[in-house]
Every structure is written in C-alpha cells, then in structure tokens.
Amino acid sequence: MGAYWILLMAVVIVQLQAILFRRFALKRLHYSRTFDVSACYEGDRFELVETIENRKPLPVPWLRVESQFRSGIQFKGQLNLDISEGQFNQNHKSFFSLMPWTKIVRKHHVTAARRGIYRLGTVSVTSGDLVGISTVVESLPLEGHLTIYPDPVDVTDMELPVQTWMGDMIVQRWIVPDPFHLSGVREYREGDSLKDIHWKASARSGEIQVHRKEATADSRLMIYLNVEDHEHMWNRATKPETIEYGIRLAAGISIHLLSQGQVVGFGSNATMDEHISLSPFVPPAAGMSQQTAIMEVLAALELSRSVSFHDYMESELRNLEVDYDMLVVTSYMNDKLERVIDRFRQDGHRVQIHLLDESGVRKEASA
C-alpha cells in the first residue's frame, strides 16, 4: 500500500463530498432577515437580525449571504470585508458556518444615518464544499422595510409665528369659549358648572368665583415644502442639504404643533420613493396618527420635483376649501410665487413664508 493508494482514496472521498455539498448544502436551510423596528428617526440605533437554520444532519462548511442596501444606514464596526459602500448603495455580506441542526441568530448593530425607506430586497446565498470544487448559489426574495424619519429641528427657539398657530390669538367674534384658555375669574352665575369654581378666589373674596374662559382661534396649518432649490431647477435638487434642512424643519414644526393638539397637514411638489404608494400630501388632522402619517411622507420624499412649485400651489389654491394657516418652506421666491401667495391671502388664508437659506443650514449643522 503506497502513497498513490492513499491519494486515490482521497480523490474519491473529496469528489464525493463535493457532490454531496453541491446537492444538499442549500437544502433545508431557512434564512430570514428583519429589522427589529419598523420605523425610527435619524441618528437612532437599531438592529438588523439575521436568522439562519440548518435543519439537516449535513453541516454547511461556509455560507455567504450578500445583499444591497441604500447607503443611509451605517453598520457598526464596518470592515471592508463586510461592507463596500458607494454613494447611493452599499453591499453587505454575512458569512456563516453551520453545524447540523443549528440555528444562528446574528444581530448587526446599525445606525440610521439618513432618512428614507430601506428595503430588505433580495439576498444571494452562496455555499460550497470544503476545498472549492463545487459552489451553489440561490436567490431569496425578502420582504420588509424600515422607515427612517427625518431628525426634526427644534423649533422652540426659532422666530416663527408659532403663537398664532397655537391658537392663542383671542378672537372676539367667536361665541364658543375655549376651555383651555383661562383669562381670569368672575362671579358665579346660574348655570356655571361646579368644576369651574375657583376655590381660592372664592375664599379670598367671600363670594363664589368661577374661572373665566376666552374664545380663541381655531386654526389649521398646512405646511408646503418646495423641493426646488433654485428657480430654474430641472429635475433633481443640486443642493440637497438645503432641502433636507427644509424637510427636518417641516418635521419639527409638525411635531411641535401636533403635540399641542393642533391640526396640521403637509404637501410638497416632490416625488416619492418608487415603491411607496403614498402621495406627498397629508390632509390636515390632529393626533399621533397624523404625526406618523406626516413623518412617513417626509421619510419617503425624493429630492426631485413632480411639478414646479408654482403649478403645485395653483392646484392647491383650487383644492383648499376652508381657511387655512399656511407655512411655505422654500429656497427662493419669485414674482410668480408672490402672485399665487397673494391669491391665497385674498381667499382668506394666512400665509407665512420661510426662506431656506444657507445660514439656517450651517446653524443647524453646527448645533
């Protein structure tokens, strides 16, 4: 028995293992991938969870899972082996080795760097034998996506007419009192509710005193965002940071007002992510669900226009039926827009314009 006999048997065994792994490596292999949250804000951390199960008595010597993500999410501890990042997309690879009847749950630590809709898409699964004779590849379609909301700007210190929008302007023509706005005390009259009694004032004066309520304005605010970063923009914004600031500003304003119980809506002339069936218009409403709806639209906005902002506002002029407060967030103003805005004012809407300039962007970047 010489070395040739040993090597001949080795060739037989190695070929057998190549056939075995080529045929059965990807059989009874279950792979799934999810994000541990369905939505989050820019800067938040979350996990991408991969689960792979080998439900057979044959081990899998190596398994490579490749996929592509948009480049707005950052994987922690990125090695060049795992991630190759481009401007718009990045390739992600995971490498496994599975013993028989084994399940591996791998959690990648990820940071949401940029707003948007991130889909799981299709993954390519590759495996092979021990020495590189055979390789087998399979594609697995996956469903699921993650929505990253824009990081809202803190508007409390900004010079915006928030007071008006919060309904603190007293209007004499209304006859229905606002139960949340108290402007003093008065003497008790028949018909006043007992819960309106001001006990301390009553004790001081010796007579029953009740809270006096004022009537306030019932306002609805529509925020309109113009994604054109200059007057003659063709299709896509060339200064994306300015428009992104506008998106974050819209997010900050809507969150602030909705948290105060106000009615807020949103509209834009931007296009939306191609896989999303939403339109860039959210009718005015109040509550947490409205905040979610606006955030989803802001997350899915693309920085390209569907129509010019002037045409868009003209169509809105025809659609708006009741009086609105309007905030127009835009990078520029011209005569056409001025004329459209004037027509809104003539129809009874109150319009405020916020110009997105670079100083705001720089200030926000330095904050």
Binding region for other proteins (CB under 8 A): 1-10, 12-14, 17, 34-35, 38-39, 53-55, 57, 59, 61-62, 64, 75-82, 84, 93, 95-97, 99, 101-109, 126, 128, 130-132, 143-147, 277-278, 289, 292, 296
- Unique residue bearing structure tokens 């541990």: 36
- Unique residue bearing structure tokens 């009740």: 210
CB of 65 to other proteins, least distance (A): 11
* Closer Cβ to other proteins, 71 or 78, answer by number: 78
DSSP state of 19: H
Cα distance between residue 185 and residue 111, in whole Å: 53
**Residues, the chain, total?**
367
Cα distance between residue 192 and residue 180, in whole Å: 16
Cα distance between residue 64 and residue 125, in whole Å: 6
* Closer Cβ to other proteins, 91 or 235, answer by number: 91
CB of 146 to other proteins, least distance (A): 7
* Closer Cβ to other proteins, 8 or 113, answer by number: 8
* Closer Cβ to other proteins, 100 or 184, answer by number: 100
Lookup: tokens for 32 = 């799934």
CB of 131 to other proteins, least distance (A): 5
* Closer Cβ to other proteins, 84 or 238, answer by number: 84
Cα distance between residue 227 and residue 302, in whole Å: 9
CB of 162 to other proteins, least distance (A): 27
CB of 83 to other proteins, least distance (A): 9
Cα distance between residue 111 and residue 89, in whole Å: 15
Find the helix or strand (DSSP H, E) in which 32 lies: strand 29-35
Q: What pairing do the DSSP bridges indicate for beta strands 145-149 and 39-41?
A: parallel
CB of 34 to other proteins, least distance (A): 5
Cα distance between residue 75 and residue 21, in whole Å: 32
Cα distance between residue 73 and residue 88, in whole Å: 11
CB of 324 to other proteins, least distance (A): 25
* Closer Cβ to other proteins, 102 or 352, answer by number: 102
- Contact, 91 vs 68, CB < 8 A? yes
Q: What pairing do the DSSP bridges indicate for beta strands 89-98 and 60-70?
A: antiparallel
* Closer Cβ to other proteins, 53 or 311, answer by number: 53
